[in-house]
Amino acid sequence: MDDSFALGNFIARAMPWTRHDLSSSESASIPLLELLALADSEDSARWQHLELGYAAPRGADWLRETIAQGYPGFGPDDVLACAGAQEALTCVMQALLHPDDHAILVVPIYQPSELAVTRRCSTTGIPLLSRDGWGLDIDQITAAIRPETRLIMTNFPNSPTGATLDAEAQAVLVALCRRHGIWLVNDEVYRLTAAPTHLVPPIASVYERGVSVDAVSKGLGLPGLRVGWIACRDQEFLAQALLAKSMLSSCLAGPSEVLARVALRAAPRLLARNRMVAHANNALLLDFLDRYPDSFEPHVPCNAAFALPRYLGPEGAEAFAIRLAKNAGVLVLPSSLWATPLARFSPDHLRFGLGRGNIAEALLAIEQVISTPKYNSRQMSLPAGVPPIRDDPSGVNGRMRAVSTSPCAIASDRKA
Ligand SMILES: Cc1ncc(COP(=O)(O)O)c(C=O)c1O
């Protein structure tokens, strides 16, 4: 089988055995009617009178205006709507890279994004360093810059490591790019699920050649809408990206545009609910991993999307993940799926999605595979009080504030 999308292939192969899917990095989705119930009167009217012709190539003005509100000082003209982050990244690379260029890619990174770069020009991979808690070595980036280096591509917050750049490191990276006139493209699809203390400004808002790519897919849990975007202040670049888009999806689906706007305007409520689910799941996971110190080295994530503990068993993380899928019906992703020819990345980890449903049953099923049960199933239930979104908006928002004040929302669940 062609493994140029190893992650997708692994999921497809394991799916027939899967009863508990912890492979996802997106938050739980909500039904259409539940989302529509969050619409304000303007969007309700838009929905009811929606015509199904071709939509505007750059995305509806009102959608781009809402997206632009996430980028200080930006207006609708600084945004290009695309069919998911994936199309956005393809358009960015098509617009910026030529065969004689050189690119720098910080790895690990989502494989289709890696290929969108490496298939266009010569590429140097710079690995996040596990010994430094997945830190970025700016000196390595500096050393990799050549006269023909056109762009640096990153994914912060990063999947699968959860690594983020702090404001200081971001400023150093921006200064380096500015000095050399290099574009800095950041895939920011996990920005909304980052712990508040680990949130830095989107790259497009701090650098004139910064390109932010994002979507409603992950934090808002709506990948089925296929709504993503590019944000950048450079109009010439956006015009080139639009040209690339005209050869792909041309325009978004009109219904998705309305629903994406509803979700963006209701983002605080959706995120509050999604964070509560992730917090509860993270607490369950850490508690579980702590009981098996011979099998796992726990990871305290600073992103609500996933955790990446190290697997210590002799057969290795990939073989264990396959055994889990076959024998327990549990799908988790081994870090070997992010392997890249550009740099070494540890194959010893497992990515557990935290955002969807209650992972207690999945953990019980894993336990049956690793050893004699030590876990009491009564300890494995979700804490009460994860309400449906419509129940009590003010209560949900109140709880979100309490979560946001912790130094690291997800990490703070860790027991001392
Ligand atoms: C890091 C990263 N970037 C981009 C994408 C693609 O996002 P979308 O579904 O919005 O195209 C994914 C999907 O898993 C991802 O993990």
For residue 305, what is the DSSP state? S
pLDDT band at 1 (very low <50, low <70, confident <90, very high): low
Q: Which of 212, 234, 265 is where one domain is finished?
A: 265
Tell me, what amino acid is at 117? V
Show the ligand 1 pocket: residues with CB < 6 angstroms.
25, 84-86, 110, 113, 155, 159, 187, 189, 215, 217, 223, 228
Give nearest CA residue, ligand 1 atom 1. Answer: 110
Q: How far apart are CA 228 and CA 67, in angstroms?
A: 10
Q: Which residue of 23, 82, 86, 248 sits with most ligand 1 atoms within 8 Å of its CB, as the best mutation to test the pocket?
A: 86
Domain presence at residue 303: yes
pLDDT band at 58 (very low <50, low <70, confident <90, very high): very high
Predicted pLDDT at 358: 82
The pLDDT tens digits of the residues spanning 337-368 come to 999 999 999 999 999 999 988 899 999 999 98
Q: Which string of b and e fits 277-291 if b means at least 16 CB within 10 Å? A: bbbbbbbbbbbbbeb
Residue 111 Cα to ligand 1 middle (Å): 10
Domain presence at residue 132: yes
pLDDT at residue 373 greater than cutoff 70: no
Q: Which of 172, 377, 357 is nearest to 280 (CA)?
A: 357
Total number of domains constituting the chain? 2
Q: Which residue of 25, 105, 110, 248 sits with most ligand 1 atoms within 8 Å of its CB, as the best mutation to test the pocket?
A: 110
Q: Contact 189/218 with Cβ under 8 angstroms?
A: yes
Domain presence at residue 186: yes
Burial of residue 143 (CB within 10 Å: 0-12, 13-18, 19+) is: exposed
Lowest-confidence segment of 5-14, 49-58, 78-87, 168-177 by average pLDDT: 5-14
The verdict on 208 and 223 lying in the same domain is: yes
pLDDT band at 410 (very low <50, low <70, confident <90, very high): low
Domain containing 278 equals 6-29+268-413
Predicted pLDDT at 415: 39
pLDDT at residue 385 greater than cutoff 60: no
For residue 382, what is the DSSP state? P
Q: Contact 342/123 with Cβ under 8 angstroms?
A: yes
pLDDT at residue 371 greater than cutoff 60: yes
Give the list of residues 6+ apart from residue 387 with CB closer than 8 angstroms, or none: 273, 395, 396
Residue 88 Cα to ligand 1 middle (Å): 10
Q: What is the mean pLDDT of residues 227-241?
A: 98
The verdict on 69 and 161 lying in the same domain is: yes
The verdict on 231 and 191 lying in the same domain is: yes
The verdict on 320 and 376 lying in the same domain is: yes
Q: Which of 265, 288, 317 is where one domain is finished?
A: 265
227 sits in which H/E element: none
Predicted pLDDT at 143: 98
The verdict on 304 and 258 lying in the same domain is: no
310 φ, ψ (degrees, to nearest 5): -85, 140
Domain presence at residue 238: yes
Tell me, what amino acid is at 243? L
Tell me, what amino acid is at 169? A
Q: Contact 306/195 with Cβ under 8 angstroms?
A: no
The verdict on 138 and 10 lying in the same domain is: no
The verdict on 214 and 278 lying in the same domain is: no
Cα angle for residues 365, 369, 374 (degrees, 5° grid): 75
Residue 85 Cα to ligand 1 middle (Å): 6
The atom of ligand 1 lying closest to the CA of 216 is 10
The atom of ligand 1 lying closest to the CA of 187 is 3
pTM exceeds 0.85: yes
The verdict on 275 and 231 lying in the same domain is: no
Give nearest CA residue, ligand 1 atom 7. Answer: 85
The atom of ligand 1 lying closest to the CA of 109 is 1
Residue 283 Cα to ligand 1 middle (Å): 25
Domain presence at residue 376: yes
- Residue 384: give its domain's CATH number: 3.90.1150.10
Predicted pLDDT at 112: 94
Domain presence at residue 34: no
What is the average pLDDT value for the chain, to the nearest integer?
88
Cα angle for residues 321, 117, 109 (degrees, 5° grid): 30
Structure tokens at 389: 């979104």
pLDDT band at 199 (very low <50, low <70, confident <90, very high): confident
Q: Which of 212, 236, 265 is where one domain is finished?
A: 265
The verdict on 407 and 318 lying in the same domain is: yes
pLDDT band at 369 (very low <50, low <70, confident <90, very high): confident
Domain presence at residue 375: yes
If phi over 0 gives left and psi between -120 and 50 gives alpha, with beta otherwise, what is residue 227? beta
Give nearest CA residue, ligand 1 atom 15. Answer: 110
- Residue 71: give its domain's CATH number: 3.40.640.10
The verdict on 253 and 117 lying in the same domain is: yes
Predicted pLDDT at 393: 31
The atom of ligand 1 lying closest to the CA of 158 is 1
- Give the alpha-carbon dihedral of 187, 190, 196, 201, to 10 degrees: 20
The verdict on 182 and 323 lying in the same domain is: no
Domain presence at residue 151: yes
237 φ, ψ (degrees, to nearest 5): -60, -45
The verdict on 347 and 203 lying in the same domain is: no
